[in-house]
Structure 1
């Protein structure tokens, strides 16, 4: 497979010894390097304070990154040449002279400068101001990780401060779900084929489910998570971004603003949540002790860093409506949670049953025709329909058609972070969140946040289950159920 390498670049990674850098960012850059997708002169400058020098940092990288490289394993020659790209600057964010040292380290390096802030959001503004103080904000790109703020007000405060230093076209707010291969294929299926577009509307779609479920708990992030919760951590960004991709109108082109304009229209068309109706359309839960795959796990309230009387939600299920011509009356069910029965992220499009069946009642049941887009753990797209069972009589059974891209394309799938990192280096903004998108999402979730802050505790659910029973009851009111409940 031949790739077009990037133009030259200097990639400056703040939080260079952090978990995100070790698990996602450096593995993504290594995979791009191994595939020949990075310009040979491009450099990676890691910024941290834990390692004393470059040798110490490279030892840290050797110990912590290799385990997170894809199933292709490590090519030792490629790994050695990848490490040659890496420089290191020991930096204390509280010392202005350290940013002078960073400027001196990068000023003679080639290409576009990318500053990736793999840090907590409280450091975004101080880092940006310090970069500007030494003139490193010009002709550069800045990548901001989520969460960007705690609510609309704090998000705007960060965006205002960063926007004084970097223009909107320089700011890349990352949401790695938008870089996943099946999400890209969803765009291709919808806008590259005539097959689905006539069906992709209220006349033919009964309901849509979007689920991001995790088996893991809060791990070592108890302090962070207890002040965040599932609504801020997953719904405001990942789930609403996926919703906007599913529901958007066809853009006139795939340039960055055309795509993001259409996503913004969806977010602005979300039916506002009336605080009096939140109990009907929103379910929050918190996991208690349970068993996952034969292993006992503790309750959320006993996790390190979590307050014993915490009212933070670890599960959210929502019924969402879009008030526009295409989707009026179609319920979108969003769900996310920790310590659930399985690790899965998927989009389920349930098409309406045929209006009349001469073949028996099975052709009239909901979900007989559906499209399931699996984002993780295995990335697939599967179309379900009915077919006749072999033998006597006209007996129907559900069958599926797999869109097996790996059977047609010999290239390996690109990981989400790898794709997004290359997009930053190339200057492509389409898969990154624009400020007005982010504001629209915060405005929509804020009534839920405010109501939950003023009301009682989340509903309990046992770890290893699919969340509170109320989440299933919410769907039952619409004569449907979550995909796993059908079996």
Structure 2
């Protein structure tokens, strides 16, 4: 990512942004607000247009009105009036081959009207079952050239980029199939597999903490680190998405651990890249994914835990159990909580376990990385040492973004009493800014052609291999104690037992 280009309009090529699934929640809640924010702050092309495509019947005017109404006053009315003039809508089914004559015609008409050439961003804001037919239809439409017909030296080549939301398959085979479908239409450097977790400031800040500070990097290895915990917990349940979550693509292991948390782990564990650019960072991340220890089928009960929430209370309000949600099977085995012990078999991380966990309807909403350091080799203050907690670095990704360093200090007064001390870097207080929305950061990168925060196909396929034995074991061995944790708690007791087996405990507060 080059900071010098972030507010330079010349760093962006004029383009048309085509959003499939334009009437959906993601487009209204995230994509349009992110694009508005980029336009308002000058981080957008000099000329661009947005075309929404969906089956819902709207005109361009009624679609603009719907977006403004949905925003509940978050857009400045005068600025929105100007911005919305570049938003268009086409009602049609992008999965149906017969719809593409009209879709292609609309794309070309808008591109000509705004003098956008053939530069296009296709955004798949649709369910995973629609990915492949839409990709195939884009390929058959003749809209993808990617500069293949423009070979003169110095001639500006048009580009077409595709942005695709997770899930990237539901197992290794389906991930490979999806990647092959993408590769048949787009070059790999035009494919942007988006993970909004990688747009969060504190995930990116990991690179700065590690590689810009000499006090951290010498300690970042198995000589000093006992283990690492990566947690993504939510206080909400499935909230009406029961039918999707209970499908073969659902569950915490597939939805969160295999995708988001594995990505955070790769940033945490990677070696220093040669340069701070997409290709070199991806190279180092891929080395981490290749070093992931694939668990043996028979070891799964010792290194992985499945949970499912029952009824309970969160913030004093009753919450129904997962199996009571609409669209969920009465005896569903879907995991709404998943925890897994992972090893990265490299020289730096040999023997250091990484504990990944994610759950819905839990006691607190947080995404954090906790690095637990080993105790000192010789405890001089033995009686006091029994009360000591390990030194920790806590990276709060969301909310309360910041970094905390926990170590031991002497309590003032007579005698030698030790108590833990916390040094706190609060992101919002320090910089007096709100963290940028992840989608704004990532869409800005797509517009500039920067793939640093996007997944390569190799990352997807290798990370699936690391979790598939767990999924296979769970499929073969139904669990008769589900649901096994109450909504509003920290998950099933079996997760605590897994940690206690190694004399460790979860960082819950």
TM-score by length of 1: 0.94
Aligned to 1:464: 488
Deviation of 1:450 (Å): 1.0
Aligned to 1:314: 336
- Secondary structure of 2:334's counterpart equals coil
Pair 1:126-2:133 in alignment:
yes
Number of aligned residue pairs: 480
Query: Bigger CA drift: 131-140 or 252-261?
Result: 131-140
- Per-residue CA shift, 1:147-175, capped at 9, x if unaligned? 01111111111111111011111100011
Deviation of 1:317 (Å): 0.8
- Per-residue CA shift, 1:291-332, capped at 9, x if unaligned? 111111111111011111111111101111111111111111
User: Does the aligned pair in 2 maintain the 1:125–1:158 contact within 8 Å?
Assistant: yes
Out of 441, 446, 449, which is 1:427 matched to? Answer: 449
Pair 1:151-2:171 in alignment:
yes
Deviation of 1:363 (Å): 4.8
The change in CA–CA distance for 1:107 and 1:80 in structure 2 (over 3 A counts) is: closer
Out of 222, 244, 252, which is 2:242 matched to? Answer: 222
The change in CA–CA distance for 1:251 and 1:362 in structure 2 (over 3 A counts) is: farther
Aligned to 2:83: 82
Out of 230, 255, 271, which is 1:210 matched to? Answer: 230
Query: Bigger CA drift: 404-413 or 181-190?
Result: 404-413
Tell me how far apart the structure 1 counterparts of residues 317 and 435 of structure 2 sit (CA, whole Å): 32
The change in CA–CA distance for 1:66 and 1:421 in structure 2 (over 3 A counts) is: farther
The change in CA–CA distance for 1:411 and 1:37 in structure 2 (over 3 A counts) is: farther
Q: CA RMSD in A?
A: 1.9
Tell me how far apart the structure 1 counterparts of residues 29 and 389 of structure 2 sit (CA, whole Å): 37
Aligned to 2:345: 323
Tell me how far apart the structure 1 counterparts of residues 398 and 429 of structure 2 sit (CA, whole Å): 19
Tell me how far apart the structure 1 counterparts of residues 386 and 266 of structure 2 sit (CA, whole Å): 29
Query: Bigger CA drift: 346-355 or 77-86?
Result: 77-86
User: Does the aligned pair in 2 maintain the 1:239–1:334 contact within 8 Å?
Assistant: yes
Aligned to 2:29: 23
Deviation of 1:121 (Å): 1.6
Out of 159, 162, 185, which is 1:165 matched to? Answer: 185
- Per-residue CA shift, 1:456-480, capped at 9, x if unaligned? 1256111111110010111111211
- Secondary structure of 2:198's counterpart equals helix
Out of 39, 56, 62, which is 1:56 matched to? Answer: 62
Pair 1:10-2:10 in alignment:
no
Query: Bigger CA drift: 36-45 or 191-200?
Result: 36-45
Aligned to 1:391: 413
Aligned to 2:108: 104
Aligned to 2:308: 286
Aligned to 2:150: none
User: Does the aligned pair in 1 maintain the 2:55–2:91 contact within 8 Å?
Assistant: yes
Pair 1:404-2:411 in alignment:
no
Out of 20, 37, 55, which is 2:43 matched to? Answer: 37
Deviation of 1:413 (Å): 2.5
Deviation of 1:225 (Å): 0.5
Unaligned runs of 5+ in 1: 68-72
Deviation of 1:412 (Å): 4.1
The change in CA–CA distance for 1:100 and 1:31 in structure 2 (over 3 A counts) is: closer
User: Does the aligned pair in 1 maintain the 2:294–2:465 contact within 8 Å?
Assistant: no
Pair 1:478-2:498 in alignment:
no
Tell me how far apart the structure 1 counterparts of residues 325 and 50 of structure 2 sit (CA, whole Å): 36
Out of 363, 371, 374, which is 1:349 matched to? Answer: 371
